[in-house]
A and B are shown apart, each in its own frame.
Chain A
Amino acid sequence: DTAVSQTPKYLVTQMGNDKSIKCEQNLGHDTMYWYKQDSKKFLKIMFSYNNKELIINETVPNRFSPKSPDKAHLNLHINSLELGDSAVYFCASSQVGQAEQYFGPGTRLTVT
């Protein structure tokens, strides 16, 4: 069983479009995250959710809107896509009180 899954794995779209990436974890964790990995492989936190509540929004443009319908899911919706949004987006989860995080396989977003 996949612990943290993301769909889609690849996403190619044009500037100005709106797209969503879905994330699900079956680990029973309370905390979920979105990270962005740029073309130089640098990883940076975007959002953290604990028990469906937003904890961290790391100066991400408001075109990015995370939504957590329940503790097992954290989706990422992106409006008005820009070229600079091209990156790999990783979802992760952890247990409350534990720093150790488990990552999904990533979604490679390409904006043309």
Chain B
Amino acid sequence: GDSVTQMEGPVTLSEEAFLTINCTYTATGYPSLFWYVQYPGEGLQLLLKATKADDKGSNKGFEATYRKETTSFHLEKGSVQVSDSAVYFCALGGDYKLSFGAGTTVTVRA
């Protein structure tokens, strides 16, 4: 079945550092791919998405490119801020459900 493997955390960074969170997937067909973010004590927010191969999703300085050849959707941000501290989830869109990775906790220190 569909599955997502996500880089395990926790990840601790200094402000203005570069962030990468690796995500790979297994799926039949060509699913849509997502990154969701969960800030402390809050629900999940859609951060960005890509619906087909070579699409690049971007939002709030974050980017991820749908790579069919490596079945990957890695999340990157060039310069993180303290406000980016959160749990990040990679997800794959299937029939009437999302399959999530295990989540990566990111802490950014001032």
Query: Which residues of A line the B interface, CB within 8 A?
Result: 31, 33, 35, 40-45, 48, 50, 55-56, 58, 90, 92, 99-106
Contacts A100-B46, A103-B43 given: A42-B98 contact, CB under 8 Å?
Answer: no
**B49: CB under 8 A from chain A?**
yes
**B82: CB under 8 A from chain A?**
no
| Cβ-defined contact, A56 with B89, below 8 A | no
- The binding surface of chain B is classed by DSSP as strand
**Distance from B96 Cβ to chain A, minimum over Cβ atoms (Å):** 4
**Distance from B103 Cβ to chain A, minimum over Cβ atoms (Å):** 4
Which of B36, B45, B87, B93 sits near A99, CB closer than 8 Å? B93
Query: Which residues of B line the A interface, CB within 8 A?
Result: 31-32, 34, 36, 38, 42-46, 49, 51, 87, 89, 93-94, 96-100, 102-103, 105
A42 — which chain B residues lie within 8 A by C-beta? 100, 102-103
B100 — which chain A residues lie within 8 A by C-beta? 42-44
B44 — which chain A residues lie within 8 A by C-beta? 43, 90, 92, 103
| Cβ-defined contact, B89 with A99, below 8 A | no
Contacts A41-B102, A100-B32 given: A56-B45 contact, CB under 8 Å?
Answer: no
| Cβ-defined contact, B43 with A100, below 8 A | no
A100 — which chain B residues lie within 8 A by C-beta? 32, 34, 46, 49, 93
| Cβ-defined contact, A56 with B34, below 8 A | no
B32 — which chain A residues lie within 8 A by C-beta? 99-100
B99 — which chain A residues lie within 8 A by C-beta? 45
A40 and B34 CA atoms in complex are apart in Å by 20
| Cβ-defined contact, A31 with B43, below 8 A | no
B49 — which chain A residues lie within 8 A by C-beta? 100
A48 — which chain B residues lie within 8 A by C-beta? 96-97
| Cβ-defined contact, B103 with A33, below 8 A | no
| Cβ-defined contact, B96 with A31, below 8 A | yes
A103 — which chain B residues lie within 8 A by C-beta? 36, 43-45
A58 — which chain B residues lie within 8 A by C-beta? 97
Contacts A99-B31, A103-B43 given: A45-B97 contact, CB under 8 Å?
Answer: yes
